[in-house]
Amino acid sequence: MTKTPSWLDHAARHSSERPWTLGAVLEEYSRVEGVTRAETASFLGCDVDSLAWLSLCRKPAPDQFLEDVSRIAERFQIDGLKLAQLIRRVDAIVVLRRTTTAEEETLLLAARDRDEETEE
């Protein structure tokens, strides 16, 4: 078995700060589901070192999602269906969060406008 490079953990953690990486997706999944990286790795059918390598990958492109997921799953010998489910779940959560934030901002602006009209 190949020794894991010393820099891998740092690079995997750093990738979680880049929204275009699977590192960001995996981090959000762990946070939302309340699971550890080891539990996420188990869900996908790999070990934690493989999950760290997986974190460094670019997220599948929307226009070739199936092909990208299949390629990643084959490369890392993980369950492609579970990877696709994980990515789609996180994507949905991100969209819902954006929608909620936009609605809250609209309500705040409407309330502020109403308060300004009342003061006049």
Give the three-class secondary structure for 18: coil
Q: How many CA atoms lie within 13 A of 20 on its CB side?
A: 2
- Tens of pLDDT, residue by residue over 25-52, are 999 999 999 999 999 999 999 999 999 9
At residue 1, does pLDDT exceed 50? no
pTM (predicted TM-score): 0.76
Domain extent at residue 22: 8-119
Domain count, the chain: 1
Number of Cβ atoms within 10 Å of the Cβ of 108: 10
* DSSP class of 46: S
Q: How many CA atoms lie within 13 A of 90 on its CB side?
A: 22
From CA 5, how far away is CA 52, in angstroms rounded? 11
105 domain-assigned: yes
